[in-house]
Amino acid sequence: MQGLSGFAMALVVTVFWSGLMAPATAAPLIVISSVLGQLLSLPAVWPGLNWRRAAPMIGGGLLGVGPGVLALPFLEPHLFRLGVGVLLCVFAPAMLLAARLPQVRWGGGTADGVAGFVGGAMGGMAGLAGPAPILWCALRRWERDEQRATFQSFLLAVQGAGLLSYAASGLITAEVLRLAAWTVPCVLLPSLLGARLYSRLNAAAFRRVVLGILALTGVALVGGALVAR
């Protein structure tokens, strides 16, 4: 899913891993796996990157990672998953069904930076850096390749910073590295296959894929949080 859409690894694996391990273990493991997948598929979308638009979002995301990491030990996992899931369940289907919603033009680089900061904080807390900037890119109605290149570069920068923060905070434990030895090999081929599929999508299909993944993940997060409670 990450190779196809440019994100989604953290969203999908959180559904499975959140009930199996503590957030402090899952978050760095998600980031390690996601960064590898981003690096593998980035060359396919790099030409679409508009640095003028991407820079404020990336800068805001980097500023948000630190506060998110600091909040991680105090995170209540069920409430966090429930909150993110409800947001996705409401917002993603609304955008999917209302394709003619007006384009968001206000705020400029400042608004882009705020969206990035929210994503960075969520990434630091639970490896979920994607939803906020991805929804914002969709509201901006940028072109398909520009959207993907922007939020994929954002995710790579923020998750790379998050990985360094996890290491500095002592969260890259022996257990995380042991689990990563299993997950990293499983990322390689699927990421490359997904990137090949992406090249066959037009703009409308890409929008449906992105918002559909977000909506389904929201349902899974809400269901998982309620069952865990």
3-state secondary structure 71-107: HHHHCCHHHHHHHHHHHHHHHHHHHHHCCCCCCCCCC
pTM score: 0.74
Examine the pLDDT at 227 and tell me if it is beyond 80: no
Q: Which two tokens stand for residue 64?
A: 């948000």
pLDDT for position 229: 61
pLDDT in tens, 141-187: 888 888 888 888 888 888 888 788 788 888 889 999 999 999 888 88
Examine the pLDDT at 223 and tell me if it is beyond 70: yes
pLDDT for position 98: 58
Q: 66 exposed, middle or buried (CB, 10 Å; 0-12, 13-18, 19+)? A: middle
Where does the pLDDT of residue 127 fall: very low under 50, low under 70, confident under 90, or very high at 90 and above? low
Site of tokens 């894929």: 209
Q: What is the 3-state secondary structure (H, E, C) of 35-76?
A: HHHHHHHHHHHHHHCCHHHHHHHHHHHHHHHHHHHHHHHHCC
15-19, 69-73, 134-138, 192-196: which has the minimum mean pLDDT?
A: 15-19
pLDDT for position 23: 76
d(CA 190, CA 40): 10
Q: What is the mean pLDDT of residues 106-123?
A: 88
Q: What share of the chain is helix, strand, coil (3-state, %, to 5)?
A: 85, 0, 15
Q: Which two tokens stand for residue 183?
A: 């997950």
136: nearest Cα among 97, 95, 81, 85: 95
Q: Comparing 99 with 131, which gets the higher pLDDT?
A: 131
d(CA 23, CA 119): 17
